[in-house]
Structure 1
Amino acid sequence: MKKIVLVGLLIFSSIFLAFILLKDDPASKFLNSMSQDQKQKVLYSFDDETKTQWHYIPSSMFPRAGISLAELDITQKKLLHELLQSSLSETGYLKTIQIMDLENVLREMSGDSVMRDPDKFFVAFYGNPETDSLWSWSFEGHHISLNFTVLNNEQTIAPRFFGANPAVIPSGPRKGEKTLEKEEELGFQLVNSLDQEQKAIAIFQEAPINDIVTRNSIEVDPLSPEGIKFEVLNSSQKKVFLSLIDEYLSTMPEKLAMERMKNIQDEELGEIRFGWAGTTKSGEGHYYRIQGKSFLIEFDNTQTNANHIHTVWRDFNGDFGKDLIKEHYENSDHHTP
């Protein structure tokens, strides 16, 4: 009898502890800070069509789902930032904050406080992190689109879009401040390390491409296999190439980034290509892409006199958590025929 009681207490304690930990996770803390009206604005069904309707233009030009920063109080904003910090690396979080702050720079430059508003970033949840093993959420506004999917605490982040306008602040007290600097500098370093024969392969177009090719597509397939393969580069060029890929992965939590890099190195490194379009000189329009079997990176800096960057990471099989969703349906008892 005592043994039965002891086992029962252990089970109850485990359930109670799990419940406490669940309530204390950043997503639940943020949701529990909201009123019912706010929750109705921020919570959607997991399959709601707005989950895949993403963009990187200002929110005044493309309405976002969810609730805006403007509708949150100071405590709720703090909790949202804690959620972002827990879901990104320190590098990813700092890039996010820096890009959001560029809205203040654009407002000062343009005088337009309607289009240029740092509070016009939106958060939306699909499914409920307090009750569902599979759920997702997004944080989006001008030049930011972060799409997270979570299955039993395992997380993916794709599509991931970061942009910067201005990429280099041209005037004022913050003149010279750069955003997304490494993504550009490492790209230049790689293309300018190539000899003439290698450049003839890597540079697939003389004219730059003035935006990412995939734009805000819901699904993407591999683009044409342009550029030079990783396997034909010399050791120093390969090192720069890996550093460039790592810069994009560095926005993710460290464990997730390391796992992804290991998979890339183990399964597809020899086939990855680096392709360039446009000039190889800073200050003039340029574009590059990195494409492997499972992913695509695009970068362009052509608009606003080549002072306006777009970057994106797409997962062919994992955008909007497609890989985790497939895993969930294959392994869940209630989905088994």
Structure 2
Amino acid sequence: MTTFRTNSVAIALLLAAAWSARTACGESGVAAAAPAAEAGAPTAKIVSAADLFLDALEEPQRSKTVYKFDDDAQRARWSNLPVGMVPRGGISMGELSPEQRGAAMDLLKAALSKQGYEKVMQIVEADEVLKYNQRGRGGSRGGGANSGPRFGRDNFFISFLGEPSVTEPWMIQFGGHHLALNMTLAGEQGTLAPSHTAAQPASYEMQGKAIRPLGNEVEKAVALMASLDEAQRKQAVLGFRVRNLVLGPGRDGQMIEPEGLKGDQLNEDQRRMLLDLASEWTGIINEPTAAAKLEEMEKNVAETWFAWSGSAEEGSVGYFRIQGPTVFIEFAPQGQGEAGLNHLHTIYRDPTNEYGARWWRKHD
């Protein structure tokens, strides 16, 4: 399998510029780079960026963006499907001025790791490529229902549940087709569970650079499978075909029994490979929060399962699942062979802390 490598900083800047730039009336709206992240807890930095974004909005836009924290309908209003097929709440990027979009991007930079921000921007740009391939079907602004599928970077939405706070729980949602980030913050604690990352196309070129938003996930899973001996592989491979996400969007509150190969049957190198693979999801959030999650997963790695469905031949990529006490990850190609690898769905959940409920239920 060919491995594509890109300069993460350069690609992230290219994608951010592509989103923010507008040439109407000769005006350029390229967003300025966000300040470098400070060491230590990130909540104050995220709140500051959120306040700057909200301050940039007009009052009608702000009212459209901010929901009450207890709005469970909005909390669960996310999907892998395009806007138009499933309406989103909040305000779309297409409704924002270049300066407002820049403030939204600065918020994402503050909330996510560098690698996570790059991945998110690459997923968004893949949808812009899909829009082009669909003959420009970008739709109108605003995200109304029954308008048919709409693709492209203008059709990604941002919303808040609750007001930004360094002490009280609140939530940032960002997503659209093939992307749903649900970030809950409570003081210095944070989680992205549940979140959905996907890509179609899963490989494209931008300014001569090959880009694969979920390329690391593919390569690391293939490497882990290749490291298994015959007995381990026999345990890992399920005896039935799994064709899509079992606990994808719309499956909140559900869980399944672990299957496959248990972590206590892995050697130390394989355990590290499993954790490194899981970090492609848990590492989307800002670095300090991701580090805390990795430490939690390390403690539970012996109780974490790895399952595979599909061809187990060397170099093949099929459905796979990582399931532990505090992590549930699925990766599902949407089809067979190479065609399936150009349309990918994934999900990340924490069965003990969906939407950060472990923290904010204490406030009820």
- Asked whether 1:57 is paired with 2:81, we answer yes
Shift of residue 53 of structure 1? 2.1
Matched residue, 1:191: 225
- Asked whether 1:320 is paired with 2:355, we answer yes
Q: Percent identity?
A: 31
User: Is the contact made by 2:330 and 2:348 (CA closer than 8 Å) also made in structure 1?
Assistant: yes
The secondary structure found in structure 1 opposite 2:244 is: coil
The secondary structure found in structure 1 opposite 2:87 is: coil
Shift of residue 247 of structure 1? 2.3
**1:83 aligned to which of 88, 107, 111:** 107
**1:144 aligned to which of 179, 185, 191:** 179
User: Is the contact made by 2:166 and 2:187 (CA closer than 8 Å) also made in structure 1?
Assistant: no
The secondary structure found in structure 1 opposite 2:250 is: coil
User: Is the contact made by 1:168 and 1:175 (CA closer than 8 Å) also made in structure 2?
Assistant: no
Q: Encode CA deviations 1:269-318: one digit per residue, 9 max, x unaligned.
A: 21100000001358966100000012201011133443211121101121
**1:36 aligned to which of 24, 35, 59:** 59
Segments of 5+ residues of structure 2 without an aligned counterpart are 1-43, 139-149
**2:160 aligned to which of 120, 125, 143:** 125
Matched residue, 2:189: 154
Shift of residue 46 of structure 1? 1.1
Q: Distance in 1 between matches of 2:206 and 2:166?
A: 49
TM-score by length of 1: 0.84
Comparing 90-99 and 278-287, the one that deviates more: 278-287
Seen in structure 2, the aligned counterparts of structure 1 residues 22 and 111 have a Cα distance that, compared at 3 Å, is: closer
Q: Distance in 1 between matches of 2:239 and 2:187?
A: 44
Residue-pair matches, total: 306
Comparing 84-93 and 312-321, the one that deviates more: 312-321
Seen in structure 2, the aligned counterparts of structure 1 residues 39 and 219 have a Cα distance that, compared at 3 Å, is: same
Seen in structure 2, the aligned counterparts of structure 1 residues 221 and 76 have a Cα distance that, compared at 3 Å, is: same
Q: Distance in 2 between matches of 1:259 and 1:296?
A: 17
Q: Distance in 2 between matches of 1:22 and 1:249?
A: 20
Once the two structures are superposed, the pairs formed by residues 292-303 of structure 1 within 5 Å of their partners are: 292-303=324-335
The secondary structure found in structure 1 opposite 2:330 is: strand
**2:244 aligned to which of 206, 211, 219:** 211
Matched residue, 1:27: 50
Compare the two structures and name the one with the higher helix fraction: 1
Segments of 5+ residues of structure 1 without an aligned counterpart are 1-20, 330-337
Once the two structures are superposed, the pairs formed by residues 201-280 of structure 1 within 5 Å of their partners are: 201-207=235-241, 209-266=242-299, 268-280=300-312
Seen in structure 2, the aligned counterparts of structure 1 residues 272 and 73 have a Cα distance that, compared at 3 Å, is: same
> Which letter maps to 2:228?
L
TM-score by length of 2: 0.78
Q: Distance in 1 between matches of 2:136 and 2:59?
A: 33
Q: Distance in 1 between matches of 2:105 and 2:264?
A: 41
> Which letter maps to 1:29?
L
RMSD across aligned positions (CA): 2.4
User: Is the contact made by 1:168 and 1:307 (CA closer than 8 Å) also made in structure 2?
Assistant: yes
